[in-house]
Amino acid sequence: MTGKVSPAAGNPRYDLSAFSFQTADLDRLLSALGDAKAGDGIGAVSASGAIKGDTKTIAFNGSFSAKGVQGSGAVNVALGGQVPRIAANLKTSELNIDQLTAQGSGSAPAAAGGSAGGGGGRHSKAPINLAFMKGIDADVDLTAPAIIKSPWRLDNAALKASLKGGVLTITRLAGGVYGGTVDLSGTVSALNNSFNARMTATNVNVGTAARALGDTKRVDGVATLSLSLSGSLASTADLVASLNGDGKINGNVRFNASAQEQLGGALAGSALKQLGKRLDKITGGTGASDELGDLRAVLKVANERFANRTGPVAGTIAIRNGTLHTSDLRVDGNRAWAITEADVNLPAWTMVATTNVFIEEAPQAPYAIVRQKGPVDNPSRSVDRGPAAASVRPPAQPDAQQPGAAPQQPQQPQQQPKPTDPLKKLKKIF
């Protein structure tokens, strides 16, 4: 080290223009110095740069490494008030919150349907301890290549926040997420264990997000979401049950269907037509053909007007005391659109939803109605024809050869994929 030390009585001062510090185990070092709390598992620590101060102030400017994080910048600490005050302007390497807090490694996951420290239920009832926020004041300006909290990753992250009197104010937390950007601000209070936040996520890749969060390839596209939220931080269960907020979404989405699924729908449609004819021949009427013909047409609407087509999506959501409601979530297909009204009980993770499907040929009433009820992850679904189905059917390619057309050459039969449940595929699209 290089610099000056002034051993003034009662308030020694130091001004080191160059210093270097390194230890392989901060726990052992602090224990040797008589600190009962040791280093709290920090492990290897190093720092170098310039430092000056006295018994009440510390000013550091340089670089450091701790818990696998490398950083540089300026840190000023004031110890003369009721609580310590820290001002930091830092640039760090990636910050993995799970690793820094020793979460997500070495501990067994909670059993399905239970919660750690929670007394049962989907969400933990263990108290969230924010008392540490009352013991320090801080101003932080930080940038990092990424801030990671599984399954989330915020790239090119920038954080500007202050902590005073037990209230954390996030002026701005911004970065890249799933191909788009997110900008968040809000407050967290340790005085009454509450929070409020405002977030805008712009041009987020829906497919990337869906695969990261739910391992599904059912949807792709780009969407923008704005959302305001508030609630209690007494526990995770209280947070979810007390959640309130409003938001809106818009963008363009594509609902993916594999060739096998589309072929399954086509084969099912052809089978329904033949079945209707046979039943009518047995009964001497036409009701079966009409009913099954409507269902066949619904399959064609799903296959030809929504599946594998990119279309606009827009809607609003309202969250009141843990229940999410939307009445206008609209997805447009090719000369068709679907409007969903839904209620999602977030604490119980259950839903009740109705999707009305309209076609351009009969826009005054739903052509098909899809109802969903039960667990959000696996609700029961039903598909029914709507009022418009009785009056009009969308144009369809005929199954039989048209008069005057050149005769088709006989083809060798090919082994076709077996349609497992075409209605199940239809329900997934909506």
pLDDT tens digits, 33-90: 555 555 456 778 899 999 999 889 999 999 999 888 999 999 999 988 899 999 999 9
The pLDDT of residue 113: 43
Taking every pair of Cα atoms in the chain, the longest distance, rounded to a whole number of angstroms, is 112
Do 171 and 159 form a contact (C-beta atoms < 8 A)? no
pLDDT at residue 158 above 90? yes
Do 65 and 50 form a contact (C-beta atoms < 8 A)? no
The pLDDT of residue 96: 94
Output 153 or 278, whichever has higher pLDDT: 153
**What does the pLDDT average to over 342-361?**
94
Q: CA 305 → CA 47, 72, 143, 310, 324, distances in Å?
A: 62, 55, 45, 10, 28
What is the Cα–Cα distance from 358 to 338, expressed in whole angstroms?
6
**What does the pLDDT average to over 326-346?**
95
Q: CA 125 → CA 113, 116, 121, 235, 321, distances in Å?
A: 13, 8, 8, 5, 17
What is the Cα–Cα distance from 371 to 354, expressed in whole angstroms?
5
**What does the pLDDT average to over 19-29?**
79
The band of 251, judged by pLDDT with boundaries at 50, 70 and 90, is: very high
* DSSP state for residue 419 in the 8-state scheme: P
Least Cα distance to 312 among 387, 233, 246, 223 occurs for 223
Q: pLDDT tens for residues 304-319?
A: 888 888 999 999 999 9
Select, from the ranges 134-138, 261-265, 413-417, the one with the highest average predicted confidence (pLDDT): 134-138
Residue 371's CB is within 10 A of a number of other CB atoms, namely 16
Identity of the amino acid at 225: L
Element (H, E) at 10: none
Least Cα distance to 182 among 198, 162, 160, 169 occurs for 198
Least Cα distance to 250 among 359, 331, 353 occurs for 331
Q: CA 51 → CA 34, 72, 90, 192, 205, distances in Å?
A: 24, 13, 15, 38, 45
CA–chain centroid gap for 323, Å, is 17
pLDDT at residue 357 above 70? yes
Query: How is residue 186 written in tokens?
Result: 């809000």
pLDDT at residue 430 above 70? no
Residue 101's CB is within 10 A of a number of other CB atoms, namely 10
The pLDDT of residue 338: 92
Q: CA 175 → CA 32, 180, 198, 332, distances in Å?
A: 42, 9, 15, 30
The pLDDT of residue 52: 93
Do 202 and 178 form a contact (C-beta atoms < 8 A)? no
Determine the Cα angle at 141 with ends 135 and 143, to 5°.
125
* Torsion sign, CA atoms 25, 26, 30, 31: negative
pLDDT at residue 400 above 70? no
152-164 and 137-149: which strand pairing? antiparallel
pTM: 0.76
Least Cα distance to 237 among 131, 347, 159 occurs for 347
Query: How is residue 293 written in tokens?
Result: 């013909």
Least Cα distance to 250 among 210, 202, 185, 319 occurs for 202
**What does the pLDDT average to over 20-42?**
67
Identity of the amino acid at 105: S
Output 383 or 27, whichever has higher pLDDT: 383
The pLDDT of residue 283: 46
**What does the pLDDT average to over 394-407?**
46
Q: CA 217 → CA 9, 59, 257, 351, 353, distances in Å?
A: 70, 52, 9, 22, 22
Q: Which of 35-39, 63-67, 279-283, 331-335 has the lowest mean pLDDT?
A: 279-283
Mean pLDDT score of the chain, rounded to an integer? 80
